[in-house]
Structure 1
C-alpha cells in the first residue's frame, strides 16, 4: 500500500494525476511539476530481494512521484468528486497556476451519504503539514469510535466535522456523481 494521492492541477479546468507513493507538496514547483523521484526505493529493494535472478522488472523506472499521464483532464472542482475514493485515496492536492498547493485528507463517512449515490459520503479536510495530518487522522479515529458507541445513524461524525475549528482547515463535502457520468448530480459543499 502506498500513500495514494490525487493531484489536481488547475489549468482549463483541473487535470487530475495520480501519485502512488505520495509527494511532498513543496516538491510541486514550476521546475518539477510532477515532483522528484518517487519515495519507493525501499519497496524496489525488497522486491529485488524476492525476485529470482532470471525474473523481470516489477515496474518501469519512473523519475516522477506524480504520474505525468493524467487520470482525467478539464474536470471542474465539483466533478472531482467522481474520482475521489476514500478507500483508494489518502489525500487530494489542488495545485493552482502559481504552484501554490492546497492539501486535503480524504475521509469516508460510513452510514452517511450526503447526496452520494455510489458509496459513503466523502469529506476533504484541509490540513497544514504532516503533524496536522496526524492530528486529523487521530481526531477522525476518535470520531469513528464515538460513532461506534452511538450507532451509524446518529450523525456524530458529521456534527463533529461541522464543529471542527474553521481556522485549522476547510472541510469540503463531496456529493453525487460517478466516473461514468461525472456531471450527474455532482456537487461540492464547502
Structure 2
C-alpha cells in the first residue's frame, strides 16, 4: 500500500520542479496565467498531479491562486523584495555568526575554496550566480539549523522571481565579490559579530542595487 501512495506524490513533486525551473527561466512570466490544460497535455499527465504541484509552488510563493481564475506566476513587488531581503539578512547574518564561532579548519577551507571559485567566475554572470547561491546555502548547512535552512530556501525561491536580480546589474558582481571577501575574512578570523555585520551589509547593498 505504501508503494502505491508514493507514486503520485513523486509525480507531482517532479512536475512542481519542472514548473519551478520554467518560472526561474522566465518561460512562465511573472503575472502570467498558467494554462493547466495545456501543461497537462504537454507533460502527458492528468490535471490532478498538476494541481497538486501548483499547490506546492503556491506554498513556496512562486504561484498565486486566484478564486475562479486559476493559478498565476507570482509578481514580486518592491515591498515583497524588500521584505524578502530583510528576512534573509536576519537569518543569514545569524548563520554567518554561528559559523564564525563554530567552524572547524576543514569547513573554513571549504568556504575559502568556494570563495576563490566565486572570484574566478566574476566575469561569468550565470556561473557567479550559481556559486554565490551555493556559498550561501553551504554556510547555512554549516550553521546547522534545519528550520532556518528551510526558511531561507523558500525565501530564495521568491527572490529568484526577480530576474533583474542585483547580481545581474553592471558592477554588482565585483561589488558582491568584495562583500564576500569581507564576510570570509570575518569568518576566518572567527569574529562572529563582524561576520554577522558583514552579511547584513551584503544584503543591504544587494537590495539597494536591486531597487
Shorter-chain TM-score above 0.5:
no
Higher strand share: 1
State the TM-score, normalizing by the size of structure 1.
0.30
User: Which has the higher relative contact order, 1 or 2, with Cα contacts under 8 A spaced 6 or more apart?
Assistant: 2
Query: Quick check: which has more Rg, 1 or 2?
Result: 2
